């Protein structure tokens, strides 16, 4: 894609955002990779390249072999601890603050959208801010634990009963958090524009959520390095890195014309 094509697509996307009255965004791993957090599927670097997801990240595997899960997630926890929101996260927060975006639905568990300033945020795959004991179901703030775990890699235990603490993230075979899903569905159902950023739309049921907005008649913008199954239904598709596109898009939308 040359600079002229990119400029045209950015202008088209900006026009759609400026015309919209209830735009929202869906984001995936691609918005956080520029912050140093690896995604799951990229050849050569994806997290599933070195592990069978059902063996280390399913609910059944966690209950019987939690040490395998924590061994697998240990390097990711260190990346998340070190990561900072990048310009793409900030661009979405700017659009929300200006009233151009009504909220963000994310598949990411890293918390970077919240730290960037996104206020109406639905984390449909959970987050790492809390953990729950699988024995007594007591909930804990993970703030003090994450730093310790990133250093030692030891399986975290409940201080009340000694049970294993499971981070409040969604594993394979586990239901999505219903409050987050209901909020996301309501947001999408009321949207007249959907911006999909940094998601391959390959993980269900999250990949099916955009259909709700499309059924409601929403226009669609997709910013993702690789094609998605919804490209054919999009009004604008930009196959470039979100960290380059979203800040430029926000600048164009928020620029004051004289």
State the Cα–Cα distance between residues 133 and 142, nearest whole angstrom: 12
Q: Give catalytic residue positions.
A: 125
Calpha distance 79→38 (Å, rounded): 8
DSSP calls for 199-234: ----STTGGGTHHHHHHTT-EEEEE-SS--TTGGG-
**What tokens does 254 get?**
């928020």
Euclidean distance between CA atoms 235 and 9, whole angstroms: 10
| Helical H segments across the chain, by residue range | 3-19, 53-56, 59-64, 66-82, 87-97, 112-116, 143-152, 178-189, 210-215, 242-254
Find the largest Cα–Cα distance for the chain: 65
Q: Burial letters for 36-74: b for 16+ Cβ neighbours within 10 Å, e otherwise? A: ebbbbebeeeebeeebeeeebbbbebbeeebebbbebbe
Using alpha carbons, select from 221, 229, 230 the residue that is nearest to residue 191: 221
**Alpha-carbon span 94 to 116, nearest angstrom:** 9
């Amino acid at each position: 894609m040359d600079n002229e094509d990119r400029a045209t697509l950015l202008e088209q996307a900006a026009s759609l955002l400026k015309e919209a009255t209830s735009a929202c965004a869906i984001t995936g791993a691609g918005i956080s990779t520029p912050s140093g957090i690896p995604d799951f599927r990229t050849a050569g670097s994806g997290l599933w390249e070195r592990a069978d997801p059902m063996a280390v990240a399913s609910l059944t595997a966690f209950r019987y072999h939690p040490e395998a899960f924590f061994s697998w997630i240990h390097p990711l926890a260190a990346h998340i601890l070190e990561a900072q929101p990048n310009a793409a996260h900030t661009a979405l927060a700017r659009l929300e603050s200006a009233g151009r975006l009504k909220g963000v639905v994310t598949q990411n568990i890293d918390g970077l959208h919240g730290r960037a300033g996104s206020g109406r945020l639905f984390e449909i795959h959970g987050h790492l801010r809390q953990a729950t004991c699988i024995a007594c179901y007591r909930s804990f703030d993970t703030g003090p634990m994450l730093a310790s775990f990133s250093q030692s890699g030891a399986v975290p235990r409940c201080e009340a009963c000694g049970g294993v603490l499971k981070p409040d993230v969604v594993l394979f075979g586990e239901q999505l958090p219903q409050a987050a899903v209901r909020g996301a569905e309501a947001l999408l159902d009321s949207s007249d524009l959907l911006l999909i950023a940094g998601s391959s739309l390959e993980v269900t049921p999250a990949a099916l959520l955009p259909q709700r907005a499309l059924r409601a008649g929403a226009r669609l913008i997709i910013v993702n390095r690789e094609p998605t199954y919804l490209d054919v239904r999009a009004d604008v598709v930009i196959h470039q890195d979100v960290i380059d596109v979203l800040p430029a898009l926000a600048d164009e939308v928020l620029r004051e014309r004289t």
